[in-house]
A = this chain, B = another copy of it.
Amino acid sequence: MPSLDVAGEFETIERLLRPLAHPEWGRGLADDVAVLPSRPGYDLVLTKDVIVEGVHFLPDDPLETVAKKLLRVNLSDLAAKGSEPFGYLLACCWSDRCGWPEREAFAAGLAQDQALFGVFLMGGDTVRTPGPAVFSLTALGWVPAGEAVSRAGAQVGDLVFVTGTIGDGLLGLQAAQAKLKLDAERLARLIDHYRTPMPRLDFADVVRNLATAAADVSDGLAADLNHIAKASGVGIALNLSVLPLSAAAQAWFEDRVDPQAALEDLATGGDDYQIVFTAHPRHEETLRREAERRLLRLTRIGAVTAGEGVAVDYGGRRIELARRGWTHG
């Protein structure tokens, strides 16, 4: 598409984005398309997320971390399906605040994450917008043919596990908005998590081999479990009392007057980018061993039941969540 904006886009592609291109498939960003050879024996896994300034990231977030977060939230989707990412297409709608230094920071963030995660830019588009900045990314990954994990395979009797800790996404947002009272180091860690969450690619192969259903925790643990329950035609019992908390979240939690409400907030907050999945009980030991080998926390938070929806237990009592998590949007 052409645009009425003349300055900057050509240079942005030429000087900032071309160095990020896949050496072959991206065609040096000098063509209209990317061309990807077939990989027999593998399925291609695709996901596309879009983030809007003021909605999905804060206007004062550095563009370096905005770029990283954009890439990482997409890689998180691939990880939860047991897929190995290799590339992405990118569309940037730069706002007025995105001058050359900001664009350089954006590209620098991508360059660092490309090296970290082994992915390359394949193509895309760069335009200006009179409104808030908008960035869209399509991530591409491989998975052995037929082995992509879905949301739909949970079986009654399976156990429910989650990697890492839950709630840092919500607390990180509050920290970044200066709404949280904690010591400086913990605040910094939470803000780091909010700005540059770590996609659980290190656990993707385990999920692929052992999980019956999986999703990444983006909408909120309860909402994402609900997606799995619905797609699988089962119920899920979630034990709120064992929610795994980071040290920072634990410190915040200990200051709460109403611990149940606090845990509910964390379980519905979203933006955690952990993997929540179901697996047959016979795999529990293997799962724990694999998590340990990867220095990764793994918590059994519930079980798959007959019925529908998510039934939440807190201290032995069945409770109703006031809020089911962010709506998909």
B54 touches A130 (CB 8 A): yes
A5 touches B329 (CB 8 A): yes
Q: Which residues of A contact B (CB under 8 A)?
A: 1-10, 13, 27, 30-52, 54-56, 73, 77-78, 80-81, 83, 89-93, 122-132, 134, 136, 138, 140, 143, 145, 148, 150-152, 215-216, 218-220, 227, 230-231, 270-271, 325-329
A131 touches B131 (CB 8 A): yes
B77 touches A33 (CB 8 A): yes
Task: Rank and list the top 6 A-B pairs by shortest CB-CB distance, nearest first.
Answer: A131-B131, A9-B329, A2-B326, A50-B91, A136-B136, A2-B270
Residues of B within 8 A of A143 (CB): 35
A136 touches B44 (CB 8 A): no
User: Distance (Å) between the CB of A170 and the closest chain B CB?
Assistant: 10
B128 touches A131 (CB 8 A): no
Residues of B within 8 A of A50 (CB): 1, 91-93, 125, 127, 134, 136
Residues of B within 8 A of A130 (CB): 52, 54-55, 131-132
Residues of B within 8 A of A13 (CB): 328
Q: 20 A-B residue contacts at CB 8 Å?
A: A1-B49, A1-B51, A1-B73, A1-B218, A5-B327, A10-B329, A30-B231, A31-B150, A31-B231, A32-B81, A33-B46, A34-B47, A36-B44, A46-B123, A48-B124, A50-B92, A52-B128, A55-B129, A131-B132, A138-B138
Residues of B within 8 A of A83 (CB): 33
Separation of A50 and B9 alpha carbons in the complex (Å): 13
Separation of A285 and B132 alpha carbons in the complex (Å): 51
Separation of A151 and B327 alpha carbons in the complex (Å): 43
User: Distance (Å) between the CB of A199 and the closest chain B CB?
Assistant: 12
Candidates B30, B37, B40, B47; contact of A43 at CB < 8 Å: B37
Candidates B44, B48, B91, B220; contact of A44 at CB < 8 Å: B44
Number of copies of this chain that the complex holds? 2
User: Distance (Å) between the CB of A208 and the closest chain B CB?
Assistant: 12
A129 touches B134 (CB 8 A): yes
Known A-B contacts A2-B326, A52-B127; A36 and B43 likewise in contact (beta carbons under 8 Å): yes
Residues of B within 8 A of A140 (CB): 46
- Name which residue of chain B comes closest to A124, CB basis: B48
- Name which residue of chain B comes closest to A48, CB basis: B89
User: Distance (Å) between the CB of A145 and the closest chain B CB?
Assistant: 7
- Name which residue of chain B comes closest to A77, CB basis: B32
Separation of A145 and B40 alpha carbons in the complex (Å): 12
- Name which residue of chain B comes closest to A51, CB basis: B1
Separation of A325 and B231 alpha carbons in the complex (Å): 49
B33 touches A38 (CB 8 A): no
User: Distance (Å) between the CB of A247 and the closest chain B CB?
Assistant: 24
Separation of A90 and B50 alpha carbons in the complex (Å): 10
Candidates B33, B38, B220; contact of A145 at CB < 8 Å: B38
A56 touches B3 (CB 8 A): yes
B40 touches A38 (CB 8 A): yes
Q: Which residue, of A32, A44, A77, A93, has the highest number of chain B Cβ atoms within 10 A?
A: A32
B81 touches A150 (CB 8 A): no
Other A-B contacts than A1-B50, A9-B329, A30-B230, 20 sampled, CB-CB below 8 A, are A2-B271, A9-B328, A10-B329, A31-B152, A32-B81, A33-B148, A37-B43, A37-B145, A38-B42, A46-B138, A46-B140, A48-B136, A52-B130, A52-B131, A55-B129, A89-B138, A126-B328, A126-B329, A129-B131, A129-B134
